[in-house]
Amino acid sequence: MSTPALILLLVLVGALTYLYRYAMIGLFASRNLPAWLHALCRHIAPASFAALTASALFVAGGEVHFAVDSARPWAALVAVLVAWRTRNVLATIGAGMAALHLFKLVF
Amino acid sequence: MAGSGTSAGAEFLAGCRDEAPLLLGVAPFGMIYGIAALSAGVPAWLAQLASAVVFAGAAQLVIVQMLAAGAGFLPIALTSGLLNLRHVLYSASMAEYVRHLPRRWRLLLAYVLTDEAYAVAVLRYQRREAATPPHGESGASRNTASTQPVDNAAHADLRHWYFLGAGFTLWAGWQLSTAAGLLFGATIPAAWELDFAVPLTFIALLTLLLRERAGQAAALVAALGALAFAALPYKLGLVAAILLGLAAGAWTVHRLERAR
């Protein structure tokens, strides 16, 4: 993406984010949040992170690859196990990075 | 924790102090963002500017991850725009506390209404409410308040200064950790593959978020969707996958409610 396009994108996302933050304390301060929006918001983060993780691990150049001889998916599996056992973000990132470099020695 | 709110400055500093421990958790994300932005080809000045303009860690990580994967303008805008929608929830939750403030205050506080500032500030508002009945607490820190009940009652509500202090502290920490990541990132060999820290961050956050059945369904369907729609151009498949995940989450909620 060209730099001008990237600037436009960042300003757009920034403006939108600011509007979200100002919405209920400024624009619609006298109204309540609709129930459907409340329900929708709960699932946005899990859906986004899951889609991005799956894509980062198994999609390259518009194609799906389940490469068993690639370090990243295995390192991600270690990270999932550590995340599940410790529920600690930094431990997960640390273990995942360490596993990546260990698996790179193997593959 | 917080002081008894005798002045605007004291409230501001109390907000700074209570927010400070959260910076330990925020700083690594700022650094990972800075490093990943550089490896995605974002100019350093623009990556730093984004931390001030967007000022939302998860969305910034999503943007650089998608840029690195070659996603187009629209998919990135839609995905990060959707992800940040949760800030409407914080805004709604804060509304009752800041509604009475002048517009310029609300415009300012909206800018610092991030996940971490919200978490600290909302506790302050709830704590004060719980402590409102006189003589409700016996702690030494409340002595000033209980010996001057008239002053306390007549005192203007200065908790927005606390909110601002918390928000400002997080803002400064986010800018500094971004800068550190950009400085550090420029010297790190690509062989370290630190860009992989971004999906690892998503995995860690995802694990914390998956407490309920509907969220799990949303995540599973979105992940499968991301693979099923991988061939769509500009990574539009990610947007489709997230929307499908949201539908799956809503459907699961609906089904669970009917089963009860």
Q: What is the pLDDT along chain A (107 residues), one digit of tens a residue?
A: 899 999 999 999 999 999 999 999 998 888 888 888 888 888 998 999 999 999 999 998 889 988 888 999 999 999 999 999 999 988 999 999 999 999 999 88
What pLDDT score does B150 carry?
A: 40
pLDDT of residue A32: 84
Chain A environment of B249 (Cβ under 8 Å): 42-43, 46-47
Q: Do B245 and A40 make contact, defined as CB atoms within 8 angstroms?
A: no
User: Across the interface, do B230 and A62 touch by the CB < 8 Å criterion?
Assistant: yes
Tell me, yes or no, whether B232 and B158 share the same domain: no
Tell me the average pLDDT of chain A.
92
Query: What average pLDDT does the segment B235-259 reach?
Result: 93
Whether B132 shows a pLDDT value over 50: the answer reads no
Same domain for B33 and B125, yes or no, is: yes
What average pLDDT does the structure give for chain B?
86
- Please, which residues bridge with residue A60 across strands? A63
Q: Do B240 and B171 reside in the same domain of the chain? A: no
Whether B224 and A54 lie within 8 Å, measured CB to CB: yes
Q: What is the pLDDT of residues B191-237, one digit of tens each?
A: 889 889 999 999 998 998 888 899 999 999 999 999 999 999 888 99
Co-location of B109 and B235 in the same domain? no
Q: Which residues of A touch B206 (CB under 8 A)?
A: 46, 49-50, 53, 83
| Shared domain check, B115 and B234 | no
Q: Are residues B130 and B226 in the same domain?
A: no
Query: Would you call A46 and B222 a contact, using CB atoms and an 8 Å cutoff?
Result: yes
Closest-CA distance, B38 to chain A, in angstroms, reads 13
pLDDT in the model for residue A76: 96
Domain co-membership, B217 together with B146: no
In chain B, which residue's Cα lies nearest the Cα of A97? Answer: B197
Structure tokens at B1: 């924790």
Measuring CA to CA, how many Å separate B235 from each of A4, A45, B67? 20, 18, 10
In this structure, are B226 and B154 located in the same domain? no
Query: What pLDDT score does B128 carry?
Result: 56
> Residue A105: its pLDDT value, please?
93
The alpha-carbon gap from A106 to the nearest alpha carbon of chain B, in Å, equals: 16
Q: Please answer yes or no on whether A14 and B63 come within 8 Å at the CB atom.
A: no
State how far residue A75 is from chain B, nearest Cα, in angstroms.
Answer: 9
* Closest CA in chain A for residue B240: A51
Cross-chain Cβ contact B113/A21 below 8 Å: yes
B12-26, B145-159, B231-245: least confident range: B145-159
Query: Does residue B128 form part of some domain?
Result: yes
Q: pLDDT band at residue B147, thresholds of 50, 70 and 90?
A: very low
Residue A69 CB partners (closer than 8 Å, separation 6+) = A107
pLDDT value at B153 more than 70: no
The pLDDT of residue B85 is above 70: yes
Is the residue at B57 inside a domain?
yes
Number of H helices, E strands in chain B: 14, 0
Q: Name which of A9, A17, A18 to mutate to probe chain B: the one with the most chain B Cβ atoms within 10 A of its Cβ.
A: A17
The confidence score (pLDDT) of residue B74 equals 95
Same domain, yes or no: B61 and B178 = yes
CB contact under 8 A, B77 and A51: no
Grouping H, G, I as helix, E, B as strand and the rest as coil, residue B157 is coil
Nearest to B2 by CA among B86, B120, B90, B85: B120
Residue B246 lies in domain: 210-259
Same domain, B139 and B12: yes
Amino acid A15: pLDDT = 97
What contacts B109, CB < 8 A, 6 or more positions away?
A25, B94, B98, B101, B160, B163, B164, B167
Q: Is residue B62 part of a domain?
A: yes
Q: How many domains, in total, are found in chain B?
A: 2
- Residue B40's SS3 state is coil
Task: Give the CB-side neighbour count of residue B248, counting CA atoms within 13 A.
Answer: 22
Mean pLDDT of B125-129: 73
Same domain, B219 and B169: no
Instruction: Please tell me the predicted confidence (pLDDT) of residue B155.
Output: 59
Residues of chain A contacting B193 with CB distance shorter than 8 Å: 97, 100-101
Instruction: Give how far Cα B20 sits from Cα of A15, B147, B174, Å.
Output: 27, 30, 12
B93: confidence class by pLDDT, cuts 50, 70, 90: confident
Instruction: From B141, B165, B192, give the residue that closes a domain.
Output: B192
In angstroms, the CA B221 to CA B10 distance is: 49
pLDDT for B152 equals: 45
**pLDDT value for A38:** 83
